């Protein structure tokens, strides 16, 4: 007598739900004060709390730029990461620092920036470095940012990029003095970006302005 073995039918595979990509408009509606995140390719990436080296470097450059812009009477607007920058239908970022020229500032809306700033700074952290160097770099490049500085508070391997046609190309590799073409007359020394050796902002700005008077 033949023995018939019945093999139970395999359970159907569950399909993993695919989250729909967000638009920048939906992301901006979702954002609230105190929430820091980027929309990259339609996906939300939350910002993690930063360490003190990161915070000190952002604070230093923020104060340095703000004082220089005031003393040089250049106008324009400098923003911290609390301001969202909409670059495209699925890319909206909150840069560590962004500078809009005086002409750009006249076009800024009430809730967010609807176009790319002239100058952007991102300070690297372990959770964001890959995106800052990759997807966000490509978006800044595509949508017209004129200058992009990537500051590294841990390894001090700072990288500086400026517009060359359609691309952002690296400049000042290994040089001590870094000149910001998108902010007339503004420059920094590479050594100023060491969080372990804080400098007085007023002293740095005086050096920048003094060099302009000599030239």
Q: DSSP secondary structure string, 81-118?
A: TTS-EEEETTEEE--SEEEE-HHHHTT--SSSBSS--S
pLDDT value, residue 7: 52
What is the domain-level CATH number for residue 200?
Answer: 3.90.1570.10
Q: Is residue 101 part of a domain?
A: yes
Q: pLDDT of the chain along its 215 residues, tens only? A: 445 555 555 556 566 666 899 999 999 999 999 999 999 999 999 998 999 999 999 999 999 999 999 999 999 999 999 999 999 999 999 999 999 999 999 999 999 999 999 999 999 999 999 999 999 999 999 999 999 999 999 999 999 999 999 999 999 999 999 999 999 999 999 999 999 999 999 999 999 999 988 76
pLDDT value, residue 213: 82
Express each pLDDT in 120-171 by its tens digit.
999 999 999 999 999 999 999 999 999 999 999 999 999 999 999 999 999 9
Domain count, the chain: 1
85-89 contact pairs (CB < 8 A, 24+): 85/112, 85/113, 85/115, 85/116, 85/117, 86/24, 86/28, 86/112, 86/113, 86/114, 86/115, 87/24, 87/115, 87/116, 87/139, 87/140, 87/142, 87/143, 88/24, 88/139, 88/142, 88/143, 89/23, 89/24
Q: Is residue 177 part of a domain?
A: yes
* Residue 98 lies in domain: 37-209
Q: Is residue 1 part of a domain?
A: no
pLDDT value, residue 214: 76
pLDDT value, residue 15: 61
pLDDT value, residue 56: 96
3-state secondary structure of 53: helix
Q: Is residue 15 part of a domain?
A: no
pLDDT value, residue 54: 95
Q: Is residue 13 part of a domain?
A: no
Q: Is residue 21 part of a domain?
A: no
Q: Is residue 6 part of a domain?
A: no
Q: For the chain, what is the mean pLDDT? A: 93
Q: Is residue 23 part of a domain?
A: no
């Amino acid at each position: 007598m033949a023995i018939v073995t019945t093999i139970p039918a395999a359970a159907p595979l569950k399909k993993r739900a695919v989250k729909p990509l967000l638009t920048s408009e939906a992301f901006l509606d979702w954002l609230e004060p105190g929430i820091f995140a980027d929309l990259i390719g339609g996906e939300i990436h939350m910002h993690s709390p930063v360490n003190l080296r990161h915070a000190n470097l952002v604070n230093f450059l923020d104060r340095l730029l703000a004082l220089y812009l005031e003393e040089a009477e250049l106008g324009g607007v400098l923003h911290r990461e609390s301001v969202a920058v909409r670059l495209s239908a699925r890319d909206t970022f909150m840069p560590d620092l962004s500078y809009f020229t005086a002409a750009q500032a006249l076009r800024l809306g009430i809730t967010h920036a609807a176009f790319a700033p002239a100058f952007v700074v991102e300070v690297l952290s372990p959770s964001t470095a890959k995106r800052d160097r990759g997807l966000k770099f490509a978006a800044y490049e595509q949508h017209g940012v004129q200058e992009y500085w990537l500051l590294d508070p841990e390894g001090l391997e700072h990288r500086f990029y400026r517009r060359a046609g359609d691309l952002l190309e690296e400049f000042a590799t290994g040089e001590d003095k870094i000149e910001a073409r998108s902010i007339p007359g503004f420059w920094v020394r590479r050594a100023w970006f060491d969080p372990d050796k804080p400098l007085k902002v007023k002293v740095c700005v005086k050096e920048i302005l003094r060099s302009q008077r000599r030239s």
